[in-house]
Amino acid sequence: MAVLLTSAALGSLSGCAKPKAAETAREQARSVSVATVQAREIQGGVVASGTLIPREDTAIFPQLNGYRVISVLVDEGSRVSAGQPLARMDDTLLRAQLAQQTALLNQQSVAAERADAEAGRVKGLDAKGILSQEQIDSRRFAAVAAHAQARAQAAAVNDVKTRTALLTVRAPYGGLVIERNVRPGDMSAGTNPWFRIAKDGLIELAADVGEDSLDKIRPGAAVDVTLADGEKVSGTVRLVSPRVDATSKLGRVKVSLPVRPDIRAGGFATASFLGLTRSALAVPETAVRYDANGAAVLVVSSDNRLARVPVTTGVRGGGFVELLTGPRAGSQVVAKAGAMLTPGDAVKPVSGS
């Protein structure tokens, strides 16, 4: 009988121990500030890289083939004005042709004057019987033909003068010579450009931006551009491409840059597009913890225990970070995921943000 009483007493004590242990665990749970995963307006930016290119450039070819270059007047890096000579070709042959054609023009002019005089002598002799009408008309037609020949010869002279002028290759507009591919002694041909000129020396950044960010970038927006040597310059969005590459899903944004000697065509630069706002699922930046397995947040489960959930982050701004992948909207996460908290810990959630 005494044994039975003792067993009953032990059972009674054991039944009381379990609630007390659970109560003790609840009392020992750490209070943590939690934040809700929800859509927020994130003030952030987009970073994109690209190539420095001339805003507008022209490849310059010789317009006449078969002439030898006698002098090159500019080099790469030279700044030129509109109409400035860039190179000259040998005009010896054309000068001889011009002299010949000019002499022929003088002959034709004299012949036209003589024909005018002959036509003048028969003026007023129509139907007078002194000369036949055929002779009178012949002199008049000869004068007209002589003037036509003189005009044709004058055109030939102008043709040689024009070709002579084209032996001097000139800049179509002011700018910066960014390429030179001709040397004295070369023969002119139309296969390769002799020069390439960036108009007004303007170089801009052609940055490739993801299609999800293109509609958030507006012409005139400020851009921070970092050059290959780490130097930073301020730029302005000039153009947002109306199309996206079908393969890469990137669109091109062109950024105007100041004229500087360290901004060179063909170089590499990175653009930071500032002041972009987007609505996205986000949590405080302090909620994301990083370890050997990557980025993650601590989600508070329904029984107030912590669970580690991996995340992929996106745009940052205003103290929040976008979650591209991770817990669903409405989940509660630890707002400040410190090292003292581990998955499985019991916590007392305290609403923060």
Instruction: Return the top range by mean pLDDT from 43-47, 140-144, 298-302.
Output: 298-302
Angle at 321 between CA 351 and CA 304, to 5 degrees: 30
What is the tens place of the pLDDT at every residue in 19-53? 554 455 555 678 899 999 999 877 666 788 999 99
> Which region among 2-11, 288-297, 317-326 has the lowest average model confidence (pLDDT)?
2-11
Residue 272 exposed, middle or buried by CB count within 10 Å (0-12, 13-18, 19+): middle
For residue 154, pLDDT over 70 is answered with yes
The Cβ of residue 108 has, within 10 Å, a number of other Cβ atoms equal to: 20
Residue 14 exposed, middle or buried by CB count within 10 Å (0-12, 13-18, 19+): exposed
- The pair of structure tokens assigned to 234 is 């301020």
CA pair distance 65, 190, nearest whole angstrom: 7
For residue 6, pLDDT over 50 is answered with no
pLDDT mean across residues, the chain: 86
Average pLDDT over residues 63-72: 94
More confident residue, 327 or 2: 327
The amino acid at residue 263 is I
pLDDT reported for residue 124: 65
CA pair distance 136, 116, nearest whole angstrom: 12
The Cβ of residue 224 has, within 10 Å, a number of other Cβ atoms equal to: 16
CA pair distance 322, 315, nearest whole angstrom: 5
Q: Is the separation of the CB atoms in 89 and 163 below 8 Å?
A: no
Confidence of residue 311 (pLDDT cuts 50, 70, 90): very high
Phi, psi of 132 (to 5 degrees): -70, 155
For the chain, the maximum distance between any two Cα atoms, rounded to a whole number of angstroms, is 177
Task: List helix spans (H) across 54-91.
Answer: none
For residue 181, pLDDT over 70 is answered with yes
| Cα–Cα distances in angstroms (integers) from residue 302 to residues 22, 26, 306, 331, in the given order | 16, 14, 10, 10
